[in-house]
């Protein structure tokens, strides 16, 4: 076995220049092939990594869109509730103003009634005096 190894080693050192050039070209080809394979492997891993990231981003985007829709719905609901509250407040204000106006009118009519009653009393008194005279 040692002899076979020595023979092969001796044969490799005794190669012709064209065989040596062929061996160098073969070694260069193998090296280039291994480099290309390694680059492809790295590229494939990078693509897998980027696809995973893209998938995560797509899922996150969808979740954010759902959150946006939920917040928009909530905003719309609150806006509607606010409009209803403002309308109710305005109605109450108009009602309150109407009540206050009616109360003032009633107070004015009461004052007018008192004045008329006093006037009636005074006229009644004068009439009674005239009838007595």
Please state the three-class secondary structure of the chain as a single string: CHHHHHHHHHHHHCCCHHHHHHHHHHHHHHHHHHHHHHHHHHHHHHHHHHHHHHHHHHHHHHHHHHHHHHHHHHHHHHHHHHHHHHHHHHHHHHHHHHHHHHHHHHHHHHHHHHHHHHHHHHHHHHHHHHHHC
**What pLDDT does residue 106 have?**
95
pLDDT digits (tens, 9 = 90+) for 111-123: 999 999 999 999 9
Tell me the pLDDT of the chain averaged across its residues: 90
């Amino acid at each position: 076995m040692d002899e076979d190894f020595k023979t092969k080693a001796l044969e490799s050192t005794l190669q012709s220049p064209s065989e040596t050039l062929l061996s160098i070209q073969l070694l260069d080809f193998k090296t280039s092939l291994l480099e290309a394979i390694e680059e492809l492997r790295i590229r494939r891993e990078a693509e897998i990594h980027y696809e995973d990231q893209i998938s995560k981003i797509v899922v996150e985007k969808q979740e954010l869109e759902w959150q946006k829709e939920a917040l928009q719905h909530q905003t719309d609901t609150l806006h509607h509730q606010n409009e209803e509250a403002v309308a109710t407040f305005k109605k109450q204000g108009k009602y309150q103003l109407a009540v206050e106006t009616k109360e003032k009118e009633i107070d004015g009519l009461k004052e007018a009634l008192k004045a008329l009653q006093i006037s009636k009393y005074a006229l009644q008194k004068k009439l009674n005096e005239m009838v007595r005279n």
